[in-house]
Amino acid sequence: MWAKICYICKMATINYILQGENNPTKIYVRFKDGRSVDVKAKTRYSIDPENWSVAKGQPKNLKEASLKRLNEDLANLKNDILNYYNKSASLELINAKWLKDFLNPIAQKEEGVDAIPDGLISHVDYYLKHKKSSLQHSSYKKINVFKHLLERFQKTDGRHFLIKDVNADFKLKFENYCKKEKYSPNTIARAIKFIKTICYHARNNGIEIHFQLPSITFKVEKVEKIFLTKDEIEIIINTDFEFDYLDNARDWLVMSCETGQRISDFKRFNKEQIRFQDDVPLIEFTQIKTGKIMAIPLSKRVRFILDKRAGEFPRSISDQRYNEYIKEVCKIAGINKLTKGSKFDNNTSRKDSGVFPKYELVTSHIGRRSFATNNYGFIPTSLLINVTGHTTEAMFLEYIGKTVTEKAIQLAEYFK
């Protein structure tokens, strides 16, 4: 499919054209300089061919905001090419390389060095490539999830976004897309934070950013901090289960509430990691996420479980099965108080907020939060932070959901 609209500067003309019928299809620019130069190169812009006017060589419906913006971008690109032509015509050979280098300046490579991409999604790949050795597997997966979200947004918008395109208008369109797709406010906020991280990484590597980027903000809504109370943990401990797989899952759940560790750490516990220091049993391991070497005393409840299992930890279990089984454990134990929170909906692949029986809100993370929340105010916060791995007290308090007022009230207890 070829369409033509010409802009003349001296003997040079520019035609915007489409080739192909895929949706979206890349927009090409054809540059002619009399009979001596006739070259073509791919721009960073795309469009649904149904929205392209073959006769005019531009988007059809300019009342639609995204198409109007695309048309403006094409007009600006035209001016940039012609201005560059006027400056370089007497200095450089005007050929296909000249046009491609102008359209994709960062795509040029230094000898033996990969180019630093200025496209938003392509820079995500660049970021992952150079950060892979320092990223945990879980972080790597999350970044790819955000990347796929960006790809879907970009396809819907019909535009190939550059780093410098991330501005207030981009944020508004991205938020509206995410809301339409029923993403939660906090997921959207995390995505915007991630996009800013990518943009700043690009800036630190010499890529231009938009002047509005630093002023782009995102709002994180308060979410309910779900944890098991001391009484609920006691009920779970004293519940009998008909099936061994539930007894096994219950023991892991209790251990997580007693050690305050992530599932990636506690599910790797084994008896070879146990040592004694002045008759105090400790478990030593390295946290997966932080790389921190840990030594945690084993509580009476943990020792009881080990004695019950002849010194062995519960059987290994996959993350998915663990999440399923501990919900069943808590349901049988009667942990069914109506509780405000959010849970994952398999049908929509999104989290739904509302009021649910508490056992439905139980996930693998609940043990760590239960440990931190139940022991806050009874064990010095500095020691709790050492176990949970939080960097600051502020992060720890946010994690357990303690407000400044609640801290003051708890402190007042010490003065009675």
Task: Note the pLDDT of residue 220.
Answer: 79
Task: Note the pLDDT of residue 112.
Answer: 43
SS3 352: strand
State the pLDDT confidence band at 354, using cuts at 50, 70 and 90: confident
CATH 3.40.50.300 is held by the domain 230-415:
no
| Residue 319, pLDDT above cutoff 70 | yes
- The owner of tokens 């890349």 is 26
Question: Environment class of residue 143 by beta-carbon count within 10 Å: exposed (0-12), middle (13-18) or buried (19+)?
Answer: buried
Task: Note the pLDDT of residue 301.
Answer: 95
Task: Note the pLDDT of residue 332.
Answer: 97
In angstroms, rounded to a whole number, what is the distance separating the alpha carbons of residues 261 and 373? 13
Residue with the bigger pLDDT between 224 and 151: it is 151
- The proportion of the chain whose per-residue pLDDT surpasses 70, expressed as a percent, equals 89
Q: Which sequence spans correspond to the domains of the chain?
A: 8-103, 120-215, 230-415
Task: Note the pLDDT of residue 347.
Answer: 66
- The proportion of the chain whose per-residue pLDDT surpasses 90, expressed as a percent, equals 43
| Residue 367, pLDDT above cutoff 90 | yes
Q: Which of 365, 245, 230, 361 is nearest to 301 (CA)?
A: 230
Element (H, E) at 353: strand 350-357
| Residue 257, pLDDT above cutoff 50 | yes
Residue 113: alpha-carbon gap to chain centroid? 28
Over residues 99-121, the mean pLDDT reads 69
State the pLDDT confidence band at 115, using cuts at 50, 70 and 90: confident
State the pLDDT confidence band at 11, using cuts at 50, 70 and 90: low
pLDDT averaged over every residue in the chain: 85
Task: Note the pLDDT of residue 5.
Answer: 37
Using one digit for the tens of pLDDT, what is the confidence trace for 304-313?
999 999 999 9
In angstroms, rounded to a whole number, what is the distance separating the alpha carbons of residues 188 and 65? 22
Task: Note the pLDDT of residue 90.
Answer: 67
In angstroms, rounded to a whole number, what is the distance separating the alpha carbons of residues 151 and 165? 15
| Residue 4, pLDDT above cutoff 50 | no
Nearest 5°: the CA angle 170, 64, 51 is 105
Phi (first) and psi of residue 96, to 5 degrees? -60, -40
Over residues 184-205, the mean pLDDT reads 91
Which two structure tokens, joined as six digits, stand for 289?
């996420």
Burial 9-27 (b: 16+ CB within 10 A, else e): beebbbbbbbeeeeebbbb
In angstroms, rounded to a whole number, what is the distance separating the alpha carbons of residues 32 and 183? 47
Cβ-based neighbour number of residue 178 at 10 Å: 20
Task: Note the pLDDT of residue 10.
Answer: 46
Residue with the bigger pLDDT between 263 and 105: it is 263
State the pLDDT confidence band at 413, using cuts at 50, 70 and 90: low
Q: Cα dist. 100→41, 76, 96, 146 in Å? A: 6, 17, 6, 30
Question: Which residues have CB under 8 Å from 401's CB, separation 6+?
Answer: 224, 225, 373
Using one digit for the tens of pLDDT, what is the confidence trace for 284-299?
999 888 788 889 999 9
In angstroms, rounded to a whole number, what is the distance separating the alpha carbons of residues 184 and 270? 38
Over residues 45-65, the mean pLDDT reads 86
State the pLDDT confidence band at 275, using cuts at 50, 70 and 90: very high
State the pLDDT confidence band at 175, using cuts at 50, 70 and 90: very high
Over residues 183-202, the mean pLDDT reads 92
The phi-psi region of residue 376 (left if phi > 0; otherwise alpha if psi is between -120 and 50; otherwise beta) is beta
Question: Which residues have CB under 8 Å from 15's CB, separation 6+?
Answer: 3, 4, 5, 6, 29, 30, 32, 57
Using one digit for the tens of pLDDT, what is the confidence trace for 380-408?
888 888 888 787 887 888 888 765 566 56
Q: Which of 382, 400, 55, 36 is nearest to 224 (CA)?
A: 400
| Residue 274, pLDDT above cutoff 90 | yes
Q: What is the pTM of this model?
A: 0.60
Task: Note the pLDDT of residue 111.
Answer: 42
SS3 116: coil
Element (H, E) at 16: strand 12-18
User: Which one of 6-20, 145-159, 396-410 scores highest in mean pLDDT?
Assistant: 145-159
Which two structure tokens, joined as six digits, stand for 22?
């895929």
Question: Which residues have CB under 8 Å from 331's CB, separation 6+?
Answer: 357, 359
Q: Cite the beta strand spans of 194-242 per DSSP E.
A: none
Task: Note the pLDDT of residue 404.
Answer: 56
Task: Note the pLDDT of residue 410.
Answer: 61
Over residues 271-296, the mean pLDDT reads 89
Using one digit for the tens of pLDDT, what is the confidence trace for 323-345?
999 999 999 999 999 998 888 77
